[in-house]
Amino acid sequence: MERYPFAYEPSQPFISQVSDWVADVFYEILPEAGFEVRDEQIYMAFQLERAFAEKQTIFAEAGVGTGKTLAYLLYAVCYARYTRKPAIIACANESLIEQLVKPEGDIAKLARHLNLTIDARLGKSPDQYVCLKKLDEARYQLDEGEAYQEIYVGLPSFVHTHEALQSFYPYGDRSTYPDLDDEQWAKMNWDSFQDCFSCEKQHRCGQTLSRNHYRQSADLIICSHDFYMEHVWTYETRKRGGQLPLLPPHSSVIFDEGHLLEPAAQKALTYKLNHTVFEEIITRLLKGEIRESLAVAIEEAIAQSEELFARLDEESKAVVGSNRKEIQFHPELLQAIHRFTSLVDWIEEELALESGLYTLDEFQLRIVGEHLEMMQLALRLFQDPGHVISWMTEEVTGPTLIVMPRMVQEILRERVFSQSMPIIFSSATLSVEGGFDFVADSLGIEKYLSFSVPSPYEYAEQMKAFVPRLSSDDLFHEKMSSTVKRLNETEGKALLLFSSMEEMKQFKQAISSYSECSHLPFLFEGDQEISHLISCFQNDEKTSLCAVSLWEGLDVPGPSLSNVIIWSLPFPPNDPVFTAKRKGAASAFEEVDLPYMLLRLRQGIGRLIRTREDSGIVTIFSPELHQGEKLRNHVKAIFPDGVEWNEEPVDTLM
């Protein structure tokens, strides 16, 4: 196989030769295969040339239908082969990863029409894989143990043996179990509290085997934003511990749906503390011969940990539209934190003495020591609310404290954007009202290139918009009446986007009582694996899909998606993360809430028209849009040119 898809001349600049070949691809090769010439796509390609030539960060905003994925893939593959290091394509979530590599996806199209062999491998996040330890525990549950036993029996035979593996055999990722809902999956998947290094099954683990596989990719490694940021955050720690980083050295990074990188960075930089995990790890020391003083310290710390996390749970209140619970600080809680911190200090001192006696397993001692060090760092940060954001959440292992640095910009600037390599942010929505500062500032990017090209579609003919006037008497009933009307107009074929799980659950409970929709099937995010739900939605035209996380990236061309219903304007929730952002802004609404909402709303509207042949309707429910001209003008401005609003009142169904 030739290294490059063009005749390379070493005496000439490489990227300019790539650019000449890209021109041939878009002007000659792809049109001969039936692709249309798109000026917007070609313009984007030549803007990317500069980013690769100068190894700069670029915001590449390109409207729906531009073909931006094909444009960045051509440069990424060639540059990977030139540097002999793969390119990383980081997608916003796991369902977008699946869409990129599906048989009819853009990578397959390029490979087929350009006669290229593209080595593209998936680097899925750890929580997308079965944890053999958790599965082993789940199969002994009283209620669902039998189902998990069937999964356990269905694992590859080599999982249960010690024979040498002859070849890579992928298994155990989330898409393998489409019928499990999210709660069922959480009982058997990897989570951040799992101690993989002491697991005797780590060399048979699907996650480990997949990691060894994708690291060998020559062209592309496709992962999620979360996974890339986890790689950045753990890079130094893994090297110090003698482990390989999560991702190998790479030539470039493309952040697809790049406007969503900030929450992924925040998630990666969090510390998680949990009583159940602390007790499980610390009691390992009791299995060896230890001094009485250490045993006493451990027992007291376990008791204090249980009391602390119970108190944290009690002193936290739920936040509407978020799974993050806000912590109510008061002197008694701070005293409980201080007592627990002192006990952990005591254990660390005792461990220093114990290590010199060589009575404890050195490996276990190191695992416990690292966990205690992480806990102390997180607890000390936690006691300084001015520099961190913290909240409680409920996980399978019980109430969990999350501690996150308030500002991620400094870390990103140092560890990501200071590198001398091309970094591409690709999305249809990177700018807010013409500028890129909102996204750039949130990520700590000081120097960047940017451009914006519109969609080539005729939205005035393809899209209708409805923003019905809602009274304030019974908003939910009015929304349901209008939704039922729209669903019957299009015979289903709808994507319903909600701002929170609470909104979606309320709709799910109510829709079954409307006989007018009894003939229309509905799918709900969380009931099954997400890419499986998307496939079912795409293949059954009458089905409607209800989702909270599919505002971005969902690509369902054709009549299966002819109707987008936006249940409410997607303002950020009042959870601790956004509360902290608001406190740091001169004008919280103008600097935080409005830009976030407008970006997300643009994405939601963009799910409707995916090809020149598509057509359909968008409905937005928002009484606020009829109460203030300023907000209405902001929202109107994000609609494509020529799309007019219909503000008809709602006909309430009886």
**pLDDT number for residue 531:** 86
Q: Does residue 372 contact residue 252 with C-beta atoms inside 8 Å?
A: no
* Angle subtended by helix axes 106-113 and 68-83, to nearest 10: 70
How many angstroms separate the CA atoms of 82 and 259, rounded?
29
Straight-line distance from the first to the last Cα atom of the chain, in angstroms, rounded to the nearest whole number: 68
**pLDDT number for residue 497:** 98
| Helix, strand, coil percent content, the chain, rounded in steps of 5 | 50, 15, 35
Q: What phi and psi values does residue 124 have, to the nearest 5 degrees?
A: -75, 155
**pLDDT number for residue 406:** 73
**pLDDT number for residue 653:** 44
**pLDDT number for residue 315:** 87
Q: How far is CA 627 from CA 49, 472, 565, 594, 600, in A?
A: 46, 11, 20, 16, 21
How many angstroms separate the CA atoms of 459 and 514, rounded?
32
Q: Name the strands in the sheet holding 494-497, side by side, starting at the edge strand that comes first in the sequence.
A: 522-524, 544-547, 494-497, 563-566, 616-620, 463-466, 645-646
Grouping H, G, I as helix, E, B as strand and the rest as coil, residue 563 is strand
**pLDDT number for residue 620:** 97
For residue 256, the surrounding DSSP H or E stretch is strand 252-256
Which residue, 314, 588, 317, 605, is CA-closest to 457?
605
**pLDDT number for residue 562:** 96
Question: Which residues in the chain come in under a pLDDT of 50?
Answer: 653-654
Q: What phi and psi values does residue 387 have, to the nearest 5 degrees?
A: -115, -5
For residue 91, the surrounding DSSP H or E stretch is strand 87-91
Number of helices (H), then strands (E), in the chain: 26, 19
Q: Which amino acid is at 552?
A: E
